[in-house]
Amino acid sequence: MAVSGGHHVSIVNNTIFGRAQSFTNVGLYYHSYCGPSSTSVYIAKNIVNYTNSSNEVNNTYLGPGDPTPVGWSTNVYDAGMTEHILPDKILSWNIFSSK
């Protein structure tokens, strides 16, 4: 989950899990990629256990020079959280189905 710019953006009270796969990178990040720094960004109370494609825990990333979002220190790492928190079937509806 990420905030890559903008204003008045919140990411709050989420459970974020990712196991090492070829495409995984970071679980939760904030970095203002273009223009002036974002304002009124609130990223708080998220529980994260995220492993990147190099099989390293990579829960959060705060871009260099970016202000720390409000609530950032309340995000926590839960090493005991596993993929068992996920449902057996994540997507069950096919938008391309004609039925």
In this predicted model, what pLDDT tens digit does every residue of 19-64 receive, in sequence order? 999 999 999 999 988 777 788 999 999 999 999 999 999 999 999 9
Beta-carbon contacts of 42 under 8 Å, excluding residues fewer than 6 positions away, are 9, 10, 11, 12, 69, 70, 71
| Cβ–Cβ under 8 Å, residues 42 and 71 | yes
State mean pLDDT over 55-83.
94
Report helix, strand or coil for 55. Answer: coil
